Structure 1
């Protein structure tokens, strides 16, 4: 598939004495086996090929008469925000008092008119159409169907090059399309059947501003320079109500063609001549190689205007340089970790989703929202395309740890920094408490108010510890104490401050509870119940307890690591006191399934979940897993058996929980992924059953048309957990794997900053390699039960025995574990 572009680059390298690209890495070679192929025109957004450099995203669609590139960018948003009713929202104490007075007999809180009106008022700001991702326009290349036929495309996920196949006068041509991985640019190069640069087969070029552009902001301005440069400039005002020009942003989409473009006319069905559209031009015949360069500029108004004057050269040589840089970027990316699996379906899931993940985010760019950097019209704007902190925002970053892409988690750390000021403000002014309370929904724009201060999902307490959990994981997997000190400790401490204040309120502790526990009250389980009259299902939810315990323990450990005992002694005392008096996880005695965990006290075994909220102490709480005591493990297995899930928010979450318990059926997992996979290769949120929020008239794929679900790029994390686990500090190899299926992996990351490589062949684990980045104690569950183990790399005491192999490591050193004959 790459022969065309490689031939061009090879010729140019020989002419200039430049070396050819080095041999692909194993990971890059394996990724190349899984192109996304469409053997026909693919005009729909979700049939298109996804490209991206982590900031800019491009969807390449193909029509029978044209090729279209739809542009988006993580940094480009309609930045206006509605923050009305600030004087009417009140405080938590005031709203809690009103909620406490609602009669228990009401069917719901909406049946009290005064409270229902208040709920509507607090949701009013969120009903505004902005903020939202702002699509950045489309480049269209048209051709005469009498001379050119669109055959299909093949997207090479190893290097991000989309090969569009065309029949030109009966001869095969390829249009190569790719994004520059270091600059917000896209390249289009046409080659013939021998891979040589080819003259244009296109007769029309058009730049189209997005059709969903609001009418209440400044109209785009056409940009034209010379005979081969065309595009537009769009301002994005900070506010249209109270203008602040110094805060306005903008973007520009600029197309640089390698040949002259001409104005002209077309004939309508009435036989009348009409001029081409504003940014539409004919592409006259030329012998010059067809090459187009597209630049997307974004930022503050003055910055964008200044950068628009730059002249870019759309030459095959410049395209070659971009492609060479790209291959280096992709080679380094695939070199971070790799898997080689006999099960090719799982291997494909792993590589494809890590490809999409790299296209979707990069350090320095805005953290992607629900639908990342791909948008067109209203696609990508549901729920504002924002941050939902009840799992959607956290989930995609789960893959960064075990897959050894920690640099990507810095994007998440930046998001925490962005949200911290408004979260502190809300904790202080709304709750009257210390620390920070993170919002249910949030935007990548300037905020003075929680976007969704509604006392249902807006009262989900667990979102605060959950938001900072990824910072602690970053430390655990990297061993980077500087990151812990500079980036992680303060947000973790803020979450702990809020939780201790919230749990030690008189309403959450005391005689009326009939115990000495500190309760999390009120709160709301994820995607269930909402706020109830009498607070029926609004206290001590499993996920609240699990994540509160997680962050309390993380804080206490961080204090020790950073040697802050003296400075933190008062808060440490309070945390330990509360931690010792946490409520037990809610349970239910099921007649059919036995003793099971439930998401909240009072829940039974007939509930249909959305988020798998009754297994959160397994994950993300990480309190239980393969090492759970036998009695608890049985309850966990009972819970899994009883669990019903409506689908949509489970495809990564629930399957990861099951893998942590070693009970994930990988065949079932593959079938679910196949069911939810769209034509373009991404996995959507798909409905599985009725009984919860869905009924027999529900379109089971209704979420598939909303956008590209960024969260599901975490699917490789599920596979990683089947290959290796280290959640409790002990490395377990192939804990959820059919030993009859060969598998190997390179440099998956374990807690303690260990990079682990292992293989399973003919049912036996082969010698294991452990690279220690930071030094420290390494613990490995003996992969050869009953055998002694030799640890190569230790100076002395290199023979270990027992179920747990533990040894001290040195920073920067590799250790090989081998079984010794005899028992």
Structure 2
């Protein structure tokens, strides 16, 4: 009976009372909106459209962004013409960047000087506002549909009455200068459309936004640069403003698409909106059911789930992937072009998706890399005279380059490979592996050509570990990436039965690659950033990124290597750092850093660097910090990157914890609990039927193994090797327990 009960222990039940403390609360309007950086405003999104809410109660402004709305300066150029321009380009920017879509502003003059309360409900992906004074009391609920590019703003008048106008403005607030602008009034809707670039080429990104009032009569007005709908709302009445946001990547005639979408919503009325809201909430409930952690720390749990809320709001597999600031771009000139910044920012938000069992959400990551492949090969050949890929720091979607600055770094294409390999090792999806194999092979080609065999070892020259650090020899980051990529290529080429003739070369490089450089610091042997060049830096986590995310060191490494890694983490002290949050904490967990201090430090970062919208922001970009809490907690609860599952490897022995459906190398989905100082059970679902290698949490008692609920046998030993079948569920419990 107990085995049957435990075999269902990975069911995730949403308890709404737990989520009340995971709400973002605003008692005053946000300050950083509009901004060319990361905003502190309430956030909504569906992975394509993003909405950030600013303004006083009397003028609530919904800043609309969209992941696919980019300027493209290369349009109209021939292929060779574009390459020639890029090769000659010495400037900081090419002109490619993501830009804002526009704003919907709700003007309610009766609410001037009203009290302000807005709550960001991450469970349901909604914001709820309450504004009141002695003239009126208004409640607002807003959400961006998980199923369609529609912003719904529901208003109910609890007392008094007010005049409401809903105004649409195209482009950046405060300017009317946009390309091919058009607006108007049609079928009780107000709308605008415009283009990200001048010209009539079909590849130019175009967007249309249309709004309509549902539930009360309204009047529409054309204001030359803007359009607005106005109405009166009295006590006891409610209405909804429905806004559709459609690009020409969604539908060729984006305006027609937006107006048709509004027509569907209007025909259903307010009652139909309730059904659509239920469907929206259902999507998010399923999203929250992918995995869970319970660690007895409300603060860390709050920011753990808030991190996933931000990622779930700005990323979808079949849409343009988010840049630095996700889909919450509120200006036309965001910092760093809002680009895919390839020396950690683009990669970081995905780190927690693989272990967090949200693989589908991460599957769009490869798109920009594959699109860049032809140009990256050309840059390697023209600039470095070698095969493979040479990648600048700032990319965009569809093969765009936002800056031709490389900052001396040769590691960007390899850094980009990290998530491809995580995806493969955590899923063993060989269809995905075949899709990304050409990219990985080009990275391997690059290192085959770029490495120098010197005095019996392979050496890396002229590869800067920090941007423009002018390093001479063997940056530790690239040494880790070479080991990661070539080791993976041996695995993948074997699995896919490809490139057998390449493996001897890869093995030779791995067996003769330079060791990680070392130095002495405060009497300890620690990692040096380069063999010749920068030795140490008091910023960033580059000295341990070969630990995480590259995965080249862990608790299964030699005692000497592990001691160096642990001492390096201790010497670095990068708990509060401009760039290190997505990687440093997880690296510390991977090498078994003191778990009590690690949790205390992590909580302190959440409390010190969080914003009212529940994001954590250290300043190095935007959404990359969403990786920090999930990646660290997952590595404390479950490790598998060295081919063996370790349960609660970096967890305080006196603190209870449980997790459900975390993902491990080998395509295993794992649930477990730490209770009364030991692992109480392990539930493993084997997706691919691979061999399960497990560090036995009960080495002195053995592990009782049930397969699909059936008692099989007790296995003893420090390490267990269990054969599995695809779809099989294994329950492991301590052998002494009477069942």
Same fold, judged at TM 0.5 (above): yes
Matched, 1:307 2:222: no
Give the whole-Å Cα distance in 1 for the aligned partners of 2:113 and 2:538. 51
Which residue number in structure 1 is paired with residue 192 of structure 2? Answer: 232
Residue 201 (structure 2) aligns with: 245
What does residue 345 of structure 1 align with? 299
Tell me: CA distance 1:541–1:761, structure 2 relative to 1, closer, same or farther (3 Å).
same
After superposition, the Cα gap between the structure-2 partners of 1:615 and 1:550, relative to the gap in structure 1 and judged at 3 Å, is same
Shift of residue 148 of structure 1? 8.6
Partner of 2:610: 677
720-729 vs 760-769, which moves further: 760-769
Q: Which range is displaced more, 279-288 or 61-70?
A: 279-288
2:50 alignment partner, one of 52, 57, 66:
57
Task: Give, in whole Å, the separation in 2 of the partners of 1:628 and 1:142.
Answer: 62
Q: Does 1:573 align with 2:504?
A: yes
Residues 625, 302 of structure 1: CA spacing in aligned structure 2 closer, same or farther, 3 A cutoff?
closer
Which range is displaced more, 747-756 or 146-155?
146-155
User: Which of 486, 501, 504 in structure 2 is aligned with 1:552?
Assistant: 486
Q: Secondary structure at the match of 1:245?
A: coil
- Distance in 1 between the 2:399 and 2:496 partners? 32
Q: Residue 615 in 1 paired to residue 530 in 2?
A: no
Q: Distance in 2 between matches of 1:570 and 1:66?
A: 67
Aligned mates of 1:414, 1:28 — CA distance in 2: 36
Partners of 1:24 and 1:748 in 2: how far apart? Answer: 12
Deviation at 1:803, TM superposition (A): 1.8
1:520 deviation in Å?
1.6
Q: What is the aligned counterpart of 2:520 among 589, 604, 614?
A: 589
Query: Match of 2:93?
Result: 127
Q: What does residue 718 of structure 2 align with? A: 803
Q: Deviations over 1:281-321 (max 9, x none)?
A: 43235686311111001125943244244234342123112
Range that drifts further, 738-747 or 49-58: 738-747
CA distance in 2, matches of 1:614, 1:147: 53
Could you tell me how far apart the structure 2 residues matched to 1:482 and 1:421 are? Answer: 21
Structure 1 pair 563/28, CA: closer, same or farther in 2 (3 Å)? farther
Between the aligned partners of 2:391 and 2:553, the Cα distance in structure 1 is: 26
Say whether 1:530 aligns with 2:469. Answer: yes
Structure 2 counterparts to residues 429-578 of structure 1, below 5 A? 429-447=382-400, 451-454=402-405, 457=407, 459-485=408-434, 487-503=435-451, 508-510=452-454, 515-527=455-467, 529-531=468-470, 537-564=471-498, 568-578=499-509
Q: Contact conserved, 2:14 with 2:285, CA < 8 A, in 1?
A: no
Aligned to 1:693: none
- Secondary structure of 1:765's aligned partner: strand
Question: Which 5+ residue runs of structure 1 have no aligned equivalent?
Answer: 1-22, 91-120, 266-274, 532-536, 687-702
Structure-2 change in CA distance of 1:276 and 1:251 (3 Å):
closer
Q: Show CA shifts across 1:12-62 (max 9, x none).
A: xxxxxxxxxxx9933776445411112344465344210100000011234
Residue 321 of structure 2 corresponds to 367
Partner of 2:23 in structure 1? 35
Matches within 5 A, 1:687-702: none
Structure 2 counterparts to residues 5-20 of structure 1, below 5 A: none
Q: CA RMSD in A?
A: 3.0
Quote the offset at 1:719 in angstroms. Answer: 1.1
TM-score relative to the length of structure 2: 0.89
Which structure carries more strand by proportion?
2
Instruction: Judge conservation of contact 2:349–2:623 (CA < 8 Å) in 1.
Output: no
Flag the 1:199–1:682 CA change in 2: closer, same or farther, 3 A.
same
Q: CA deviation at 1:524?
A: 0.9
State the structure with more CA Rg.
Answer: 1
State the distance in 2 between where 1:205 and 1:59 align.
16
Alpha-carbon distance between aligned partners in 1 of 2:93 and 2:389, rounded to the nearest angstrom: 25
Out of 261, 269, 274, the position equivalent to 1:320 is 274
Task: Tell me the residue number matched to 1:143.
Answer: 108
Deviations 1:639-669 (A, max 9, x none): 1222254721111211111011121521012
Q: Which consecutive residues of structure 2, in runs of 5 or more, have no partner in the other structure?
A: 1-10, 34-38
Compared with structure 1, are the counterparts of its residues 313 and 589 closer, same or farther at alpha carbon in structure 2 (3 Å cutoff)?
A: closer
Q: 1:278 and 2:240 equivalent?
A: no
TM-score, normalised by the number of residues in structure 1: 0.80
Q: Residue in 1 aligned with 2:64?
A: 71
Q: Quick check: 2:375–2:399 contact (8 Å CA) kept in 1?
A: no
Question: Could you say which residue in structure 2 is the equivalent of 1:654?
Answer: 584
- Measured in 2, the distance between the counterparts of 1:85 and 1:236 equals 19
- Tell me how far 1:213 sits from its aligned partner: 8.4
Residues in 2 aligned to 1:153 and 1:732: alpha-carbon distance in whole angstroms: 42
Distance 1:516 1:156, change over 3 A: same
Q: How far, CA to CA, are the matches of 2:371 and 2:191 in structure 1? A: 32
Match of 2:4 in 1: none
Is residue 14 of structure 2 the alignment partner of residue 26 of structure 1?
yes
| Paired position in structure 1 for 2:168 | 207
- Aligned-partner SS, 1:477: helix
Q: 1:155 to 1:728 in 2, by over 3 A?
A: same
The separation in 1 between residues aligned to 2:365 and 2:18, in whole angstroms, is 28
Is 1:334 equivalent to 2:288 in the alignment? Answer: yes
Residue 422 (1) aligns with residue 366 (2): no
Identify if the C-alpha distance between structure 1 residues 425 and 27 changes in structure 2 by more than 3 Å, giving closer, same or farther.
Answer: farther
1:79/1:445 contact within 8 Å kept: no
After superposition, the Cα gap between the structure-2 partners of 1:714 and 1:77, relative to the gap in structure 1 and judged at 3 Å, is farther
Contact 2:581/2:628, CA 8 A, preserved across alignment: no
**Deviation digits for residues 589-635 of structure 1 (CA, Å, limit 9, x no counterpart):** 33x23211111014676x32433111123122312111222222222
1:88: Cα distance to partner?
Answer: 8.3
Distance in 1 (alpha carbons) for counterparts of 2:668 and 2:136? 53
Question: By how many angstroms is 1:217 displaced?
Answer: 5.0
Q: 1:598 to 1:24 in 2, by over 3 A?
A: closer
Answer with 609-618 or 716-725: which moved more.
Answer: 609-618
The question of whether the paired residues in 1 share the 8 Å contact of 2:694 and 2:720 is answered with yes
Q: Distance in 1 between matches of 2:13 and 2:256?
A: 40
Quick check: 2:151–2:244 contact (8 Å CA) kept in 1? yes
